[in-house]
Structure 1
Amino acid sequence: MSLPRIAIDAMGGDEGVRVMIEGAALARRRHDKFKFLLVGDEPKIKAALANHPGMTGASEILHCDDVVEGDEKPSRALRRAKTTSMGLAVNAVKKGDAGAAVSAGNTGALMAMSKLALRTLPGIDRPALAALLPTLGDNDVIMLDLGANRECDARNLVQFAIMGAAYARILTGLSEPRVRLLNIGTEENKGTEDLQDAAAQLRAASGLAMRFDGFVEADKINRGEVDVVVTDGFSGNIALKAIEGAARFVTDLLRNAFTSSLRSKVGFLVSRPATELLRHHLDPNNHNGAVFLGLNGVVVKSHGSANALGVANAVTVAARLLEESLIERISGDVGALEHRGAATIDRSIDLA
């Protein structure tokens, strides 16, 4: 099967061109059908491609030496969308020159550019940022929104649930992924009015390709008991940072413990296979590739500090979403829900 090529913002991320090209090359070694539009400074891209001869015939370069800075305000970056590597990569999706875009640059700027260029799908009010988190179960858990929307009403949360379930069906192969709303308790009377309204709508909806299981508390996100966790962007971003911080705390604590004495160093050698497995499981590069769900196009955000493996995983996520027709799935699910009128959602609220 021939895939649409993937636009790579080669200038984004902490290390820029070298890691982005190396990651794309690694993804192509895994799947030789990948083709790329590499957007960025042409001399730097060509220098990086010299180390990956297999990429030359699969890549086209779109020269651009203007870069969105990591701390740049989205509003300013948006005004430079036609001149920056990030903006041109997203615009390539809009024009049909690429099927998806991957960037490791400024998240706020990428969301603003993507929303303006691609717009949201019919029936979707706001896009949401979804990412994979490790669990104790067989599959990663998908969590959204992770920062695209600070405040969300019940309608937004219902839409996020539908989008997250469509994404989960692609990644996990489950026909009815387990979906829960993040809350301060699992009882039906807990949480805000919007959370309770969204839960009521999801319980009442029939025929959705998901299993709505009510609420989940933050300490259960990684237990493997849920496939999709839905929340507003403010709470989601806090929860994500807390989980990432806890993972770093555990690994640093183990490192300090194993180097504190000669006996502990011997203990480390004995337990090294187990600690390596833990390190691998918690390594964010193995779960890299957040997706802006709800847009009329595929845009994947790679972590700014991702290494080549992380970038390769982000590219692979983008390709898989194209292969599995994510946009069409979301459109079909939202359209079916609205057609059945299973959930009563107030359309009078202006969310623009």
Structure 2
Amino acid sequence: MPIDIVLDAMGSDKAPDPEIRGAILAARHLDVRVHLVGPEDLLRPKLREGLRMHSGGRKLPIFLVQASEWISMEDKAAQAVRSKRDSSMRVGLRMVREGRAGGFVTAGNTGAAMATAKMVLGSLSGVDRPALAAVLPTTTGRPCVLLDVGANVDCDPENLVQFAIMGERYAHSVLHVPAPRVGLLSIGEEETKGNSQTRDTLPLLRDLKLNFMGNVEGRDLYNGRADVVVCDGFIGNVALKTSEGIAKLVTSSLRESLKSTVTSQVGALLSRKAFDAFKKRIDYSEYGGAPLLGVRGACIVGHGSSNERAIMNGIRVAAEFARADVNSDIEVALADR
């Protein structure tokens, strides 16, 4: 059966155009029904035009849901969550809470999305603080889940323990990693390395029923050694943003090098194919956004610059999350620790 996914149509930097195109892609290629939330008078003509251009006018399971307000990137999260009671985020998450949809996707203000999700959906039993998880590419082709990447700047060891359990369940249920290897991000593999937070957390993680491998270092985010890496939101966000910057640098440098060294038409074509394959492998849009783990529902937060492919993959991840019933797995694992 198709699953209903709510999409915040007013979230991204260029909203609502990427959202509408992404919704059309998802409705065409995935077994989902997409509910676009935002001002109907703005969305209706754009959706009609998008369907005409990208689906030949063919009817697709895309529905409009009225919301008179939206939260911009410039809005202060806490203030906007309180004052904009009919925002596209709040209306969409309310649909998930009421059981009218299986998941919610936004490429909007991250702080507002997290605050609204926690307020509207509430936390799972046994979860003190929900965590934002990022899926990273590795040299082995198997993804690595890094959490937290920004939801909680200051964490205590108990928070990190809960993050480890949630990340392990997500990697197993959604990414289909058997017995995910869990590591604690530190400045060295030795147990004596790190700060007081990591040293206090290490023995707690060793006592869990997880495939815990001890401390890991920054290089292990991408070499495939670990499937889940745990840290506080400050460190995780710095690691994520640094990674995005390096990816852009490498992509730009490689493109310029290929332009300056490849002269023949055949060589240019082969280089272009190799470059496209490389770019796709490290492109955030292929991973569909970061799940907010620990809330009562599937909530996926995408990048503000998300294009239509990133939006489609965000919808895909939300549907996979809901179908896998990850939250039930998390609650059972937390109760059985």
TM-score (norm 2): 0.93
Q: Given the superposition, is the C-alpha separation of residues 162 and 264 from structure 1 closer, same or farther in structure 2, using an over 3 Å criterion?
A: farther
The alpha-carbon deviation at position 134 of structure 1 amounts to 0.9
Contact 2:10 2:16 (8 Å CA) reproduced: yes
Secondary structure in 2 matching 1:212: strand
Q: 2:6·2:105 contact (CA, 8 Å) conserved in 1?
A: yes
Counterpart check, 1:59 vs 2:62: yes
CA distance in 2, matches of 1:57, 1:313: 17
Deviates more, 1:45-54 or 1:80-89: 45-54
CA distance in structure 2 between the partners assigned to 1:230 and 1:324 by the alignment: 22
Once the two structures are superposed, what CA deviation does each residue of 1:213-248 show, in whole Å capped at 9, x if it has no partner? Answer: 111111221111111111100000000011111111
Instruction: Show the counterpart of 1:145.
Output: 148
Deviation of 1:80 (Å): 2.9
> Could you tell me which amino acid in structure 2 is paired with residue 117 of structure 1?
V
Q: Does 1:46 align with 2:36?
A: no
Amino acid at match of 1:330: I
Partner of 2:72, secondary structure, is coil
* Structure 1 residue 112, shift from structure 2 partner: 0.7
Change (3 A) 1:21 1:263: closer
CA RMSD after TM alignment: 2.0
- Tell me the residue number matched to 1:26: 25
2: CA distance, partners of 1:318 / 1:68: 21
How far is 1:171 from its partner? 2.9
- CA distance in 2: counterparts of 1:302 and 1:89, whole angstroms: 15
Aligned equivalent of 2:207, options 185, 204, 226:
204
Bigger drift between 76-85 and 46-55 goes to 46-55
Secondary structure class of the residue paired with 1:13: coil
Counterparts of 2:314 and 2:132, CA distance in 1:
14
Q: Which residue is equivalent to 2:15?
A: 16
- In the alignment, is the contact (CA less than 8 A) between 2:18 and 2:307 conserved in 1? yes
Return the letter of the residue paired with 1:27. A
Q: 1:270 to 1:297 in 2, by over 3 A?
A: closer
The 1:302/1:56 distance shift into structure 2, 3 A limit, reads farther
Give the CA deviation at 1:17: 1.7
Whole-Å separation in 2 of the counterparts to 1:298 and 1:63: 21
**Paired position in structure 2 for 1:157:** 160
Alpha-carbon distance in structure 2 between the residues aligned to 1:264 and 1:202: 55
Q: In structure 2, what is the Cα distance between the partners aligned to 1:55 and 1:173?
A: 34
Q: Gaps (5+ residues) in structure 1? A: 338-352
* 2:186 counterpart of 1:183: yes
Query: 1:6 deviation in Å?
Result: 1.2
- Change in Cα spacing, 1:99 to 1:154, as seen in structure 2 (3 Å) is same
- Mark the CA change 1:218 to 1:69 in structure 2 (over 3 Å): closer, same or farther: same
Q: Partners in 2 of 1:95 and 1:262 — Cα distance? A: 57
Aligned to 1:113: 116
Q: Structure 1 stretch 88-97 or stretch 67-76: which is displaced more?
A: 88-97
8 Å Cα contact 1:292-1:298 kept in structure 2: yes
TM-score (norm 1): 0.89
Corresponding residue SS for 2:158: helix
Given residue 296 of structure 2, which amino acid in structure 1 is its aligned partner?
Answer: N
2:190 maps to a residue whose letter is: E
From the superposition, tell whether residues 273 and 71 of structure 1 become closer, same or farther in structure 2 (CA, over 3 Å): same
In the TM superposition, residue 122 of structure 1 has moved relative to its aligned partner by 1.1
C-alpha distance in structure 1 between counterparts of 2:256 and 2:13, whole Å: 27
**Equivalents in 1 of 2:67, 2:192: separation in Å?**
54
Amino acid at match of 1:315: I
The residue that corresponds to 2:6 in the other structure is 7
2:166 is the counterpart of 1:167: no
Please list every run of 5 or more consecutive structure 2 residues that lacks an aligned counterpart in the other structure: none
Q: Which whole-Å CA distance do the structure 1 matches of 2:24 and 2:88 have between them?
A: 19
Query: Does residue 1:123 correspond to 2:152, yes or no?
Result: no
SS at match of 1:111: helix
Matched AA of 1:247: A
Does residue 1:255 correspond to 2:249, yes or no? no
1:117 Cα deviation from its structure 2 partner: 1.2
CA distance in 2, matches of 1:55, 1:175: 40
How far residue 255 of structure 1 moved from its aligned partner, in angstroms, is 2.0
Distance 1:2 1:276 in 2: 32
SS at match of 1:181: strand
**Alpha carbons of structure 1 residues 249 and 2: separation in structure 2 relative to 1, 3 Å:** closer
Displacement, 1:183?
0.6
Aligned residues between the structures: 332
14, 35, 38: which one aligns with 1:37: 35
Q: Which amino acid aligns with 1:283?
A: D
